[in-house]
A and B are shown apart, each in its own frame.
Chain A
Amino acid sequence: MTTQKVALRSVGIASVVGTGLTVWLGLWVTPPDRFMGNLVRLVYIHPGVAWVAFLAFGVTAVASALYLWKRTRDLRWDRLAGASAEVGVVFTGLTLVSGSLWGRPTWGVWWTWDPLLTTTSLLFLLYLGYLTLRKASAGPDVRARRCSVAALVAVVDVPIVHFSVLWWRSLHQPPTVLNPTLTPEIHGQMAWTLLLGFVSLSLAYAWMTAMRYRNAALEDAHETQWLAEALAERRAEGGVSPLPTPVPAEASSR
């Protein structure tokens, strides 16, 4: 097993163990909150999941910019952007679901048109569109160029959507750990569980993105190889000497 594989497997195992520990600490070990009671337990997961969603879209934006910049243009950046966005969409979905689960007992409704919820739902749809564009574009190079532009346009839209919606209405819980004075209003065991949740979910993100990235690279290599084989067959049919089989550049650089 190569070092890369060992590292990847370790990250996977660490994320599963960490998430398991977070669930155990969050559900059984930590005390209920004075005001929110057992509802507080969702706090160990929900902000961490939302953080991963934003991290994922951030990585997609940076990777897309690196692809578009001619000096760093490489299909690997595009694959990273795509893999990260896929994980980001899953985590945005989870953010919406976990927020909804918290909202029902707290606000009395599954859904409310509060700025953060509305922004997150639009973000979800925005990146769902991005993933559809990835599937719809023909050929890795065309896909990479178009999707990089789409990812950057989407990132430009995020603050616009957020501020328009914020202006529109507001009723969300203000952030607790990262409040403006940066003094966490949360103590001991609870803070550690929350931190563990953040770390394990981030590891899960890294692991899932790496796996999806590997899949994307294999898919591209497969496509290149299929094309080369088909060309060789047609040339053989026509009695033309076969072209030297090209080694897919991406396959060799993996």
Chain B
Amino acid sequence: MWRDALLVAAKDLRIEMRSRVVANQVLPFAGLTLVLFAFALDADPTVLHATGGGLFWVAVLFATVLAVQRSVGVESSNGEAGEGLRMAGIDPAGIFLGKSAAIGAQLIALEAVLTIAVAILYHLRIQGVAILAAAAILGTAGLAAAGTIYGALSASSRVRETLLPLLFLPVVAPVLLSAARAWQLALAGHPGPGAAWLRFLGMFAVVYMVTGTLAYESIMEDG
């Protein structure tokens, strides 16, 4: 299972390295969201300062939806590439973990760039780096796992693009809530209470990793 996961993750990342869809389209989109938030909030420095952590995570959530669409898209393009993976005898749990890992890795890279963007655009002083990084890693693991499950559930549906956000966003609302709180606290210079939110993010990630590993075979049965 782990070997299969590595193979699938490497495949997805190689596709991204060559096509650069996430780097050239999803990342600029997330950056654009940050600029639009500033317009909506009248670029008020006090408001942006107070809400920067939350806005960052909303941008990440939108980017996740696109990254998941892309991840599902590479399997359904070229005929039925996903079917090919199954025919090659790759463990469904391995496919799930591999695709989640690839989405997670892309999101972490995207978050690193977005962090610099919020620091500059919203005049945020980046502090409590340990909490920020831990929240980003745990939150992203949860988003990637849940995203991969819902991506597969909505795949091959005629209305995939509109269905995925409706299914996925309510489920990951707790990640937004916890990660945004952890970031707000850390950025405000009170990282202490943020640790409690980290445990929550960790739990969410574990629950969805396990659920996905167990359920992916049932989802893929129909191809």
Residues of chain A at the chain B interface (Cβ within 8 Å)? 68, 122, 125-126, 128-130, 132-133, 136-138, 141-142, 145-146, 148-150, 152-154, 156-157, 160-161, 163-165, 167-168
Contact = CB atoms under 8 A, between A and B. Distances in A.
B218 A132 contact: no
A157 B163 CA distance: 18
B170 A68 contact: no
A42 B52 CA distance: 41
Nearest to B210: A156
B219 A149 contact: yes
B141 to A, nearest CB: 14
A149 B173 contact: no
Given A129-B166, A136-B159, A150-B153, A164 B174 contact: yes
Contacts of A145: 218-219, 221-222
Contacts of B173: 122, 161, 164
Given A129-B170, A154-B171, A136 B215 contact: no
Given A141-B222, A146-B153, A165-B177, A152 B170 contact: no
A168 B177 contact: yes
B166 A132 contact: yes
Given A122-B173, A132-B163, A136-B163, 13 more contacts: A125-B166, A129-B166, A130-B167, A132-B166, A136-B158, A136-B159, A149-B218, A150-B167, A157-B170, A160-B207, A161-B174, A164-B200, A168-B177
B154 A126 contact: no
Contacts of B177: 164-165, 168
B181 interface: yes
A160 B201 CA distance: 10
21 contacts: A122-B170, A129-B163, A136-B159, A137-B157, A142-B222, A145-B219, A145-B221, A149-B215, A152-B215, A153-B211, A153-B215, A160-B174, A161-B170, A161-B173, A161-B174, A163-B200, A164-B177, A164-B178, A164-B200, A167-B196, A168-B181
Given A150-B167, A164-B200, A156 B181 contact: no
Contacts of A141: 222
Contacts of B170: 122, 125-126, 129, 157, 161
Interface string B146-157: 100110011011
Interface in B202-220: 203-204, 207, 211, 215, 218-219
A137 B219 CA distance: 12
Contacts of B219: 145-146, 149
A133 B207 contact: no
Interface in B59-115: none
A129 B173 CA distance: 14
How many interface residues does chain B have, given as a range?
20 to 34
Contacts of B200: 163-164, 167
A161 B150 CA distance: 17
Contacts of A128: 166
Contacts of A152: 211, 215
Contacts of B222: 141-142, 145-146
A87 B38 CA distance: 41
Contacts of A156: 207, 211
B184 to A, nearest CB: 12
Contacts of B149: 149, 153
A58 to B, nearest CB: 18
A120 to B, nearest CB: 12
Contact of B153 (A122, A133, A168): A133
Interface string B122-157: 000000000000000000000000100110011011
Contacts of A146: 153, 219, 222
A128 to B, nearest CB: 7
A20 B179 CA distance: 47
B174 A136 contact: no
A160 B215 CA distance: 19
Interface in B176-191: 177-178, 181
A24 to B, nearest CB: 38
A129 B154 CA distance: 11
Contacts of B150: 153
Nearest to A123: B170
B218 A68 contact: yes
A157 B168 CA distance: 11
Contacts of A130: 167
